[in-house]
Amino acid sequence: MFMPHGSCRWRAWGAYRCFHRSKPLLDHAKSGNSPEVPQELLVPAQILAVRNLTPKIKELKLQVEEHSGFTFKAGNWVDFFIDQDGVSKVGGYSMSSIPSSLPELRLAVKTSRHPPAQWCHTLAQPGKWVKLRLSDV
């Protein structure tokens, strides 16, 4: 059996996420208006579709603005900023699409009590806008 080194966790969809970094992590609990998150790093994204992958996992299909400069590599994830419907929180999610599919990308969000995940499962719908910030591996 594969045993990751460092502080690694098994993710629900079959990947390991490791937490050995040389720089501090962004606190996902802080609002997108936090001074720690420069607004120029936030990329607007429109929800194109929401569908059930399983009873506990929703897929959000998003489209970022074409000339935003947003790119990602396998293993990257996004900070997902919500500031609507009474929710003003940040969640961190891995892309479930490939980089060549940009400007569209997909996120798989497992249900939980965390407000961003609850919002994705109950209030996210096509036409709504969120903001993304690329986080590195």
- Just give the CATH number of 27-135: 2.40.30.10
* CB-CB contact of 120 with 74 (8 Å): no
- 41 C-beta neighbours (distance < 10 Å), count: 13
How many residues in the chain?
A: 137
Taking alpha carbons only, the member of 119, 11, 104, 131 closest to residue 49 is 104
Q: What is the rounded average pLDDT of the residues 86-105?
A: 91
- How confident is residue 34, by pLDDT bands cut at 50, 70 and 90? very low
Convert the pLDDT of each residue in 112-136 to its tens digit: 999 999 999 999 999 999 999 988 6
